[in-house]
Structure 1
């Protein structure tokens, strides 16, 4: 059987980016459980000559809390290896000298400790759960309506929007790298985002995956695998490791 486009590029890979929920583990009321084979798959990748990084759209906890949960599941992972929306937003805020009014979940507020927030000139919203009250939404609205050039960043769906310049940071942008492969369960945001940045995107048939994803009208993955373990097995085999 002929190799697919992502398999053709495996030998030139420098790194692999792994989505987390739906690829490493399945979410649940108990905090989640590892997808069979995923803990060992991560170990195999990290023992190879490839750089490994992780991405998540988690906006209700700091990376430290999130990573601690995965470590308890048995994953070899540290905070510096994880890219999430809040730190990416902080980097943009600092670069542009922006002071945010925050409408985010309490658990993620510490990620913004290094940013000046007095006299805000933009708004950052995330999955604020019960914080999405009329009063809080109205406070954010008043900040925006009072600005000559309103700037709004959304941490949802791994994207950041800036009204006046159309700034978009999706799952691939803040981890953009040449010769990198993205493995995710979300066809549009994981795979499509990676492809938009010039990377290959492989979809696992776990997590958010649905069979009709393979017939999507606008996004076609560079390859499909049943799970992370199969993807890692293919990558390492093709690289002779």
Structure 2
């Protein structure tokens, strides 16, 4: 993975105020590359063989008559879990208050949440939140690599589990996203250090906001 990477998130996303606009130094780029090499033995990056296997399984599912509108959703609330040809799959269900479901349905539309029960909202939010976070970070590639690093650290310390009272996947993603917002020009090595200093040492977990709150009802007026 070459550095620096320039993939950007949405420029229109409204996020809280930035803290540090300093860019990376040459040593930061070298240390970030070293971080990538350190992570590789832990299997956090998908190998080509694994990627091709997933594509094959995706195709098998898509060819089943019973499977419709197959969609990839990360960090979701799985209502059903199963293993299809060696691949673990979480299945989500949401009953929408619509008479028909259009092919180009936008799941990020807040109006879809009206008249839904809590379980359906949670199912939809798996896709909605994961998709929204990518629009709120200044650099998607740096965000993803930093998140992989933090997740690995949490798993190695046995604190990656919302079932056991610790933070789960989406919670870690939000903390990393906030770090990326606070240091928009930093690369992965600096983001990792800043994350540790800001959240782990300072434990500033009482109030995390990665997007300005907008009242949907007032917005539509």
With a CA cutoff of 8 Å and minimum separation of 6, indicate the structure with the bigger relative contact order.
2
- Whether TM-score is above 0.5 comes out as no
The normalised TM-score by structure 2 is 0.28
The normalised TM-score by structure 1 is 0.26
